[in-house]
């Protein structure tokens, strides 16, 4: 059972685990301190419910993971992995959602030729990222969903801008991409937004085709 939370409450699994460990420590924290760590109002009944629901979720995940152990990936799982991953979910989150191990998810991603999303803090890795062989293409179509190596994200081709970006100098066509930072978000100014992001000019050799994954998108 997922733990319900209100705005500003810190009820991530990591934080709840931290509270559970501190409550069980040799010198345990008080329940009032536990509530403060979770940013919830002091309420011992709700604190107990949060911990109970969290433990139930962890136990359920462990049972489902054990049931899936040794089983090959299903077509439905492939679709979910590609969708979640290309929308920005990390390997650990996908593994939790599908009751699989992170190693299993990563192996499926690599086997399917899905571009590898790097940590946003890995500036050198993003700058030098190579397009997987299965994603290499020289031309792209307007409206096509692609992978931007330099943007480290999914993007949509808006139009070709080769003439304004010196084809002879770069030896590659150039496209204006809409790079997607978040698949969905709630803006205080514009309300619910889908595919929030920004425009960026990219050379074709830094753009990855996702046509081989279309059946999973």
pLDDT digits (tens, 9 = 90+) for 25-49: 999 999 999 999 999 999 999 999 9
Reference 206, options 169, 184, 173, 160; nearest CA is: 173
CB 116 within 8 A of CB 125: no
pLDDT higher at 91 or 192: 91
d(CA 100, CA 76): 13
* pTM summary value: 0.60
Backbone angles phi, psi at 83, to 5 degrees: -60, -50
Among 120-129, 173-182, 203-212, which is the least confidently predicted range?
120-129
The rounded percent of the chain whose pLDDT value lies above 90 is 43
In the sheet with 145-148, reading across from the earlier edge strand, the strands are: 191-203, 174-187, 153-160, 145-148, 207-209
**Domain covering 131-216, topology:** SH3 type barrels. (2.30.30)
Cα separation values, 1 from 15, 91, 196, Å = 17, 21, 30
Q: State the pLDDT at residue 212.
A: 85
Q: Which residues contact 62 (CB under 8 A, 6 or more apart)?
A: none
Q: State the pLDDT at residue 193.
A: 59
Q: State the pLDDT at residue 88.
A: 65
Q: Tens digits of per-residue pLDDT, 72-112?
A: 999 999 999 988 877 767 788 889 999 999 999 989 988 88
Q: State the pLDDT at residue 20.
A: 95
Give just the sign of the alpha carbon dihedral 144, 147, 153, 154.
positive
Domain range annotation of the chain: 13-68, 75-111, 131-216
Residue 184 has pLDDT above 80, yes or no: no
Task: Over range 159-185, report the average pLDDT.
Answer: 79
Q: State the pLDDT at residue 111.
A: 87
**Angle at the Cα of 185 (from 82 to 75), degrees rounded to 5?**
15
Reference 134, options 81, 212, 75, 216; nearest CA is: 212
Task: Over range 135-159, report the average pLDDT.
Answer: 91
d(CA 38, CA 135): 43
Q: Tens digits of per-residue pLDDT, 65-74?
A: 888 888 999 9
């Amino acid at each position: 059972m997922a733990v319900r939370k209100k705005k500003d409450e810190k009820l991530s699994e990591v934080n709840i685990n931290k509270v559970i460990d501190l409550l069980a420590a040799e010198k345990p924290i008080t329940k009032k301190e536990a509530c403060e760590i979770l940013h919830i109002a002091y309420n011992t009944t709700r604190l107990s419910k949060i911990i109970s629901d969290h433990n139930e979720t962890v136990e359920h995940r462990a049972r489902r993971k054990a049931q899936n152990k040794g089983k090959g990936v299903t077509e439905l799982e492939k679709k979910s992995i590609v969708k979640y991953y290309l929308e920005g979910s990390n390997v650990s989150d996908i593994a939790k959602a599908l009751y699989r191990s992170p190693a299993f998810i990563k192996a499926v991603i690599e086997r399917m030729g899905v571009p590898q999303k790097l940590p946003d803090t890995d500036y050198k890795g993003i700058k030098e990222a190579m397009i997987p062989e299965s994603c290499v293409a020289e031309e792209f179509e307007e409206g096509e969903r692609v992978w931007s190596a330099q943007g480290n994200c999914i993007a949509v081709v808006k139009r070709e801008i080769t003439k304004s970006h010196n084809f002879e100098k770069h030896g590659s066509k150039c496209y204006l991409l809409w790079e997607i930072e978040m698949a969905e978000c709630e803006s205080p100014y514009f309300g619910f937004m889908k595919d929030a992001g920004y425009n960026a000019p990219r050379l074709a050799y830094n753009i990855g085709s996702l046509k081989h994954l279309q059946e999973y998108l």
